[in-house]
Structure 1
Amino acid sequence: MLRETSATRYVTPLREGGSLPGIVEADDLGTYVMKFTGAGQGRKSLVAEVICGGLARRLGLRVPELVRMTLDPVIGLAEPDQEVQELLKASGGLNLGMDFLPGSLGFDPLAFQVSAEEAGRVVWFDALVNNVDRSWRNPNLLVWHGDLWLIDHGAALIWHHNWPAATASAARPYDASDHALAPFGPDLAAAAADLGPLVTDDLLAETLADVPDEWLVDEPGFAGPDAVRAAYAEALAARAPTGHDRITLGAPTADRPSRAPGWLTGRPERKSGAAR
């Protein structure tokens, strides 16, 4: 289970993303980037964050710690921005916190080199979770203390917006031509050999146990939270064995619109800062 914290002070909004996350302080004296259930993307974005963050961490990739974070909307009463106040009012109760990485920088491929091995592991992972939001347009990668950290997985698991097609999506190719790490010659075969066997039923069950029941209830077509977890496990288990065979790497596009969901397109690229 994820650690539990409570927000004690709302510090400032982060306006680069469409969901308007915010920096908050918590009762464990930590500082976090908070993602809200009342944001336009809804709870499925937070579910994707928990599942992808948990999977990445268990596969040896760097992801800021995620915590269950309780919010009392009263902490936003002094916030002058009406949009922020409305978001906080709509997000009372359980939300998601991501450890704030002070001094981190947005990934720049001209300033930071990535080995073919590490690039392959990240690209393989993004294909597993069908992450459509780690392109050169918006890398969603940070460099902190000289290491590469993965952030922002709310647009991954895109098939959970259409459950009847989830299993079939496992056979579809994953075009990594515009992936932020494509220029580093990702070693996909090595990544598939190393990471594929790790995606076991036990690992998936452990990861999915981190998703709060509150975010899985009332999912249409499912009897309850455990049935939804089983569907996620089935979909991910079907994707893992295909490994690098589904990944295509071609020439990056220069001007083609992003393939990210509509609610993610049009936002500016991230240049620096902590986890968003």
Structure 2
Amino acid sequence: MKDIPVVRTVQITRYVTPLREGGSMPAVVEADDLGLYVLKFRGAGQGVRALLAEMIAGGIARALGLPVPEIVLAQLDPMLAQTEPDPEIQDLVRASGGLNVGLDYLSGALNFDPAVDAVSADFASRLVWFDALVGNVDRTARNTNLLVWHRQPWLIDHGAALTFHHAWNGSVAQPARPFAPIAEHVLLGQATALAAVDAELAARLTPEVVAGILAEVPDEFLQLAGAEHAEGPLSAPASHRQAYVDYFCARLSGRETWVGALKEAADARA
């Protein structure tokens, strides 16, 4: 298996345009490598945990071989706010000075339409398995968070994943719990190959691979997310990072329970 790509850091040089489809108001920006990125702001309403979810869930997807645009850390100078006439954008840029998260902008990509765009049972099963693993509530027919680019589906926007970490003390409690919102997954009815892909996907996520994904997460994000914890696993970046590793390793070890629930849900939908 190929190594997980190292997360690069870029410097944002220009705010191009807002993307007002999402509640966090991400934006297309240009960076010093002349690339365009969809920037997720640390100062948005969802806060830094949405950036953690973007990096961790996105990293896991890439380790599973699922197509995710390149994820980068994006350094934002709050002085860029001065170039924007919209006060709302100015406030967001000022509140997001420092490191943020960006995804490669897929120019010309179209929103995935489940009534028109076909995917294989293998792809649907891999995606449903992944979304159940990471607790992604945002892959429904109303909001697929899939793009079609060069005739292939691409996964975007995982800021709503890792639902468990919004009220978390770092402990591993009920890691094998089935993910109930999967019943609304846009591709659940096509996920007829779950039994065939389960062992292969789990084998890709060794403890070393999961630890490598978490190693790319900046201490700064972990410190901000754990700021209200004076003690315990979330009080320091190293133990905070390890808490995520422990959670996913425990969830993978108990996957017989949640994968079994997935199969039942997929059979019912089909």
Q: Normalising by structure 1, what TM-score? A: 0.87
Q: Give the letter aligned to residue 242 of structure 2.
A: A
Q: Give the letter aligned to residue 58 of structure 2.
A: G
**SS of corresponding position for 1:171:** coil
Q: Give the letter aligned to residue 265 of structure 2.
A: L
Q: Return the alpha-carbon distance in structure 2 between the equivalents of residues 183 and 111 of structure 1.
A: 15
- Pairing 1:1-276 to 2, within 5 Å after superposition: 1-164=6-169, 167-175=172-180, 176-217=182-223, 219=226, 220=229, 221=232, 222-241=234-253, 242=255, 244-247=259-262, 248-249=264-265
Q: Return the alpha-carbon distance in structure 2 between the equivalents of residues 166 and 116 of structure 1.
A: 35
40-49 or 240-249: bigger deviation: 240-249
Aligned to 1:264: none
C-alpha contact 1:118 1:186 (8 A) present in aligned 2? no
Q: Give the letter aligned to residue 72 of structure 1.
A: D
In the TM superposition, residue 147 of structure 1 has moved relative to its aligned partner by 1.0
Percent same amino acid among aligned pairs?
Answer: 52
CA RMSD of aligned residues (A): 1.6
Unaligned residue ranges in structure 2 (runs of 5+): 1-5
> Once the two structures are superposed, what CA deviation does each residue of 1:203-259 show, in whole Å capped at 9, x if it has no partner?
01110011111000151233411101111011111112315224241666xxxxxxx
Change (3 A) 1:229 1:192: same
C-alpha contact 1:124 1:188 (8 A) present in aligned 2? yes
Q: Return the alpha-carbon distance in structure 1 between the equivalents of residues 172 and 15 of structure 2.
A: 40
Q: Give the letter aligned to residue 120 of structure 1.
A: S
In the TM superposition, residue 166 of structure 1 has moved relative to its aligned partner by 5.7
Q: Return the alpha-carbon distance in structure 2 between the equivalents of residues 140 and 162 of structure 1.
A: 24
C-alpha contact 2:170 2:240 (8 A) present in aligned 1? no
Q: Give the letter aligned to residue 77 of structure 1.
A: Q
Query: Which structure ranks higher in relative contact order (CA pairs < 8 Å, sequence separation ≥ 6)?
Result: 1
**SS of corresponding position for 1:96:** strand
**SS of corresponding position for 1:37:** coil
Q: Return the alpha-carbon distance in structure 2 between the equivalents of residues 239 and 138 of structure 1.
A: 26
> Once the two structures are superposed, what CA deviation does each residue of 1:17-50 show, in whole Å capped at 9, x if it has no partner?
0111011011000000011111111111000100
C-alpha contact 2:81 2:91 (8 A) present in aligned 1? no
Change (3 A) 1:231 1:9: same
C-alpha contact 1:123 1:186 (8 A) present in aligned 2? no
Change (3 A) 1:178 1:166: farther
Q: Return the alpha-carbon distance in structure 1 between the equivalents of residues 244 and 128 of structure 2.
A: 20
Change (3 A) 1:59 1:185: closer
Q: Return the alpha-carbon distance in structure 1 between the equivalents of residues 112 and 28 of structure 2.
A: 20
Q: Return the alpha-carbon distance in structure 2 between the equivalents of residues 20 and 5 of structure 1.
A: 20
In the TM superposition, residue 190 of structure 1 has moved relative to its aligned partner by 1.5
Change (3 A) 1:240 1:65: same
Change (3 A) 1:113 1:102: same
**SS of corresponding position for 1:122:** helix
Q: Return the alpha-carbon distance in structure 2 between the equivalents of residues 148 and 189 of structure 1.
A: 22
Q: Return the alpha-carbon distance in structure 1 between the equivalents of residues 83 and 204 of structure 2.
A: 47
**SS of corresponding position for 2:89:** helix
Q: Return the alpha-carbon distance in structure 2 between the equivalents of residues 204 and 35 of structure 1.
A: 23
> Once the two structures are superposed, what CA deviation does each residue of 1:151-197 show, in whole Å capped at 9, x if it has no partner?
11111111111224862242221232210112324311122121012
Q: Give the letter aligned to residue 124 of structure 2.
A: A
Aligned positions, number: 252
